[in-house]
Amino acid sequence: MTTSASRKVALVTGSTDGLGRAVARSLAASGFRVVIHGRDTRRGEDLVREIFGLGGSAQFHRADFASLAEVRGLAQTVAREHGRLHLLINNAGIGTGEGAGRPAPRRTSADGCELRFAVNYLAGYLLTRLLLPLLVRSAPARVVNVASAGQYPLDFDNLMLTRAYSGMRAYAQSKLAQVMLTIDLAGELRDSGVTVNCLHPATYMDTTMVRHAGVAPVSSVEEGTAAVMQLAVSPELEGRTGEYFDGLLAARANAQAYDPQARRRLAQVSARLAGLDPPGSS
């Protein structure tokens, strides 16, 4: 185990670029040992060197979230290498894929799931489930899911969007699924010392994802970072759980997020796709 006993540990997925990278730097400056995750080893190791150069502490672990086997590997590595986890920020994701007038083609993950659902939601679902015992042992701890105000109701008869595919719809339903997971986990973990919240960090931040979609940025990465950091470390949010924030303010998500039956169906499908025991089976 490489963790210094004097530092809390934070895992930020998708932290080699954009919002995740900025959040990782901020957490390191706040005294966390930051576990950096991404697909690009060079960028990950560059960020680790940058953080150490500023007096912080970090370690990089590579995993491709289009593969549930690699998600499982990441969870095992984090538990083995760090032994504690006080903060999990599920930030990794891919955008709508639409830009310059070109519609996004439907693509699938290594496990055969629609790619945006797999990367933006299912990978984070599995990672969080696998790391829950570590988070509970490390409590007080927090989980922050980086969702979006762009939300589209899930059609459970066409969840993988084999019909009427749209990259925007795929992205938006994956983000609503994150909100639904947040509410479920918050209820499940109540009284455990682990809180779970989610947010829309800022609208069209100046990131690679936004520029790739052909959208002119209207917000800064710094605005999004401030919103994520509030949920991650603010003493004022201690004990608050199961909430959705729009930037710095508590807000309401799409109505389906508050439908227990819809959340139950999502939980059942998610467990099956991720190869976990169905809800309530233990």
- The residues annotated as belonging to the active site are 171
Closest C-alpha to 132, from 60, 59, 181, 68: 181
As a whole number, the mean pLDDT across the chain is 93
161 part of a folded domain = yes
Does pLDDT of 232 surpass 50?
A: yes
Does pLDDT of 157 surpass 90?
A: yes
Mean pLDDT of 45-50: 98
Mean pLDDT of 15-19: 95
70 part of a folded domain = yes
Alpha carbon of 211 to those of 94, 173, 201: distances in Å?
A: 12, 21, 17
Lowest-confidence segment of 35-49, 87-101, 188-202, 253-267 by average pLDDT: 87-101
Does pLDDT of 28 surpass 90?
A: yes
List pLDDT tens digits, range 91-147.
Answer: 999 988 765 556 789 999 999 999 999 999 999 999 999 999 999 999 999 999 999
Instruction: Output the domain CATH number for residue 159.
Output: 3.40.50.720
User: Rounded to whole angstroms, how far apart are CA atoms 222 and 228?
Assistant: 10
More confident residue, 82 or 278: 82
4 part of a folded domain = no
280 part of a folded domain = no
3 part of a folded domain = no
282 part of a folded domain = no
98 part of a folded domain = yes
Mean pLDDT of 219-242: 95
Q: Quick one: pLDDT band at residue 215, thresholds 50, 70, 90? A: low
Does pLDDT of 169 surpass 70?
A: yes
Residues of the domain holding 119: 9-274
Does pLDDT of 4 surpass 60?
A: no
N-to-C CA span, the chain: 30
16 part of a folded domain = yes
Q: pTM for the whole thing?
A: 0.93
Total number of domains in the chain = 1
